[in-house]
């Protein structure tokens, strides 16, 4: 089974760029911006970041956005998703910061001028540090503060922006910060991670509720839509699975995928998952009225970030060394093709498998691929005589294969409307900083963040112009 024959995307299929405020803007202390979690961690331990490049850098887009939007337009990209930084838009008293608001008005206007539509996301792992210190997503204060920040953003930009998203990859902070302990504050507590996940779900739902209210009163434009973006990953196990392997698949799928899919389509969390968690002693900090809040979480459409599948098997132990209940262990597939720079498996068919699962289980849901991309450490080594990076041997096949599987899914009924490539222009990547490069456009850190097209850019331009996946 392959996707070779599927090389044409619909005429109204859109192409764009995915990015985020904290990874591009820079200007970390300008315009009254507050310290966010990444600034806090960078200030505390700069050695945790590749080459000691902390959150301050972005990719200088804050100063170069006119040029960057022109580049997107030149590549045939009609939209770009970035995020407002909560820590830039709001002050520490929870009031709008006029300087931050002015910056985003200018940014959005420049995009319109260049013929690029901005999709706005409200949260990309970047809580203001003062709210984290008061309990972060485990505290109702932060959840309420997020809801009032979202309300302020809708009120300020409600007539300008058509496409809104509450969160990018809401599964990542519970996992990285609270379960695996890889990101600040390095917690390894499964139950706390789920409480964080629950808090984010409430915050998402309160924001969608505020959006609906402001749209009904005319503050938000009538054609505006709201969604959520997650890094969904189709779960796979061994070819001859045991009951216990299948159970590991069910819980992995339930925690990472169905949790969010049920929330945004049914306004509730998946009952089977909540039951299993409760059986293992993991309960949510539920308060009266929470069900009604979650019921508001139904969205207009969804963003699907896809990088890699999750391969799991039955856990070897019930409880790990930190006292956490175990639901699945990683399963190493012998045929896996790896992107060694990132340590992530490359499995383009996963995008199709998950698309078809959504088509079957959530048939009314419209969606787009909101991130997909390949970050490569050796990018800089592949420089041609004329100075351009020749990344065609790996970036083109990666994107081509994923697009072909998307085309096949659409041919078979999937309601996928577009594709945003992650980065397009190289950007700062959390701990990895500039280690792995994702862009079709290079950012030269040795020459003041100068932009330079890579060889793959002409292939991308051809695809966006013709919708033929050559």
Q: What angle do CA 309, 311, 301 make, to 5 degrees?
A: 35
Binding residues among 315-374 for ligand IFM as defined by CB under 6 A = 371
Is residue 371 annotated as a catalytic residue, yes or no? yes
How many residues can be counted in the chain? 470
Is residue 321 annotated as a catalytic residue, yes or no? no
CA dist., res. 151 & res. 157, Å (int): 10
Enclosing H/E stretch for 245: helix 243-253
CA dist., res. 255 & res. 235, Å (int): 11
CB 332, min distance to ligand IFM, A: 21
Q: Does 169 bind ligand IFM (CB under 6 A)?
A: yes
Cβ-contact 328, 315 below 8 angstroms: yes
Give the residue nearest to ligand IFM (CB).
Answer: 429
Interface characters, 295-314, with ligand IFM (x: CB under 6 A): ----------x---------
CB 344, min distance to ligand IFM, A: 8
Q: Does 201 bind ligand IFM (CB under 6 A)?
A: no
Q: Does 87 bind ligand IFM (CB under 6 A)?
A: no
β-bridge partners, 416? 367
Coil, strand or helix at 275: helix
Q: Does 379 bind ligand IFM (CB under 6 A)?
A: no
Our CB check for ligand IFM shows the closer of 307 and 405 to be 307
Residue 94, by phi and psi: left (phi above 0), alpha (psi -120 to 50) or beta?
left
DSSP-assigned states of every residue in 112-168: HHHT-EEEEES-SS--BHHHHHTTGGGSHHHHHHHHHHHHHHHHHHTTT-SEEEEEE
Residues in contact with ligand IFM, counted by CB under 6 A, come to a total of 7
CA dist., res. 178 & res. 175, Å (int): 6
Q: Does 165 bind ligand IFM (CB under 6 A)?
A: no
> 3-state DSSP helix/strand/coil percent for the chain, to nearest 5?
45, 15, 40
CB 237, min distance to ligand IFM, A: 24
Q: Which of 156, 169, 179, 247 is catalytic?
A: 169
Q: Does 247 bind ligand IFM (CB under 6 A)?
A: no
CB 333, min distance to ligand IFM, A: 21
Q: Does 429 bind ligand IFM (CB under 6 A)?
A: yes
CB 305, min distance to ligand IFM, A: 6
Q: Does 422 bind ligand IFM (CB under 6 A)?
A: yes
Enclosing H/E stretch for 302: strand 301-305
Cβ-contact 45, 334 below 8 angstroms: no
Q: Which of 25, 35, 173, 371 is catalytic?
A: 371
CA dist., res. 360 & res. 344, Å (int): 27
Q: Does 20 bind ligand IFM (CB under 6 A)?
A: yes
CB 20, min distance to ligand IFM, A: 5
Active-site amino acid positions:
169, 371
Return residues touching ligand IFM (CB under 6 A).
20, 23, 169, 305, 371, 422, 429
């Amino acid at each position: 089974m392959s996707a070779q024959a599927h090389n044409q995307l619909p005429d109204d299929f859109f192409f764009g760029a995915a990015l985020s405020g904290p990874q591009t803007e820079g200007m970390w202390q300008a315009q009254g911006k507050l310290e966010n979690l990444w600034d806090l961690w960078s200030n505390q331990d700069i050695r945790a970041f590749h080459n000691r490049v902390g959150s301050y850098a972005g990719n200088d887009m804050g100063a170069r956005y006119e040029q960057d939007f022109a580049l997107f337009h030149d590549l045939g990209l009609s939209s770009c998703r970035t995020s407002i930084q909560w820590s830039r838009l709001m002050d520490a008293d929870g009031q709008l910061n006029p300087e931050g608001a002015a910056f985003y008005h200018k940014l959005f206007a420049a995009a319109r001028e260049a013929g690029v539509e901005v999709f706005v996301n409200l949260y990309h792992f970047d809580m203001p540090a003062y709210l984290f210190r008061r309990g972060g997503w485990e505290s109702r204060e932060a959840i309420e503060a997020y809801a009032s920040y979202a309300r302020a953003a809708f009120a300020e930009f409600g007539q300008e922006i058509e496409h809104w998203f509450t969160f990018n990859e809401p599964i990542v902070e519970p996992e990285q910060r609270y379960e695996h302990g890889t990101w600040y504050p390095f917690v390894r507590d499964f139950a706390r991670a789920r409480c964080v996940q629950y808090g984010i779900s409430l915050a998402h739902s309160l924001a969608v509720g505020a959006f609906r209210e402001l749209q009904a009163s005319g503050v938000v434009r009538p054609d505006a839509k709201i969604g959520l973006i997650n890094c969904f990953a189709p779960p796979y196990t061994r070819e001859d699975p045991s009951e216990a392997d299948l159970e590991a698949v069910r819980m992995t799928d339930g925690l990472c995928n169905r949790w969010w899919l049920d929330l945004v389509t049914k306004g509730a969390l998946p009952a089977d998952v909540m039951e299993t968690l409760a059986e293992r002693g993991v309960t949510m900090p539920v308060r009266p009225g929470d069900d009604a809040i979650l019921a508001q979480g139904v969205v207009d459409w969804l963003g699907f970030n896809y990088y890699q599948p999750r391969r799991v098997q039955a856990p070897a132990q019930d409880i790990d060394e930190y006292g956490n209940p175990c639901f699945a262990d990683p399963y190493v597939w012998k045929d896996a093709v790896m992107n060694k720079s990132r340590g992530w498996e490359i499995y383009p068919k996963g995008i199709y498998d998950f698309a078809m699962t959504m088509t079957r289980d959530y048939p009314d849901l419209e969606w787009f691929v909101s991130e997909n991309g390949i970050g490569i450490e050796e990018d800089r080594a592949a420089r041609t005589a004329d100075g351009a990076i020749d990344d065609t041997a790996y970036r083109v096949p990666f994107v081509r294969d994923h697009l072909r599987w998307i085309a096949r899914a659409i041919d078979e009924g999937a309601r996928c409307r577009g594709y945003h490539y992650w980065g397009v222009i190289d950007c700062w990547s959390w701990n990895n900083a500039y280690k792995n490069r994702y862009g079709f456009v290079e950012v030269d850190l040795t020459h003041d963040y100068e932009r330079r097209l890579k060889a793959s850019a002409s292939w991308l331009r051809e695809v966006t112009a013709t919708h033929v996946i050559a």
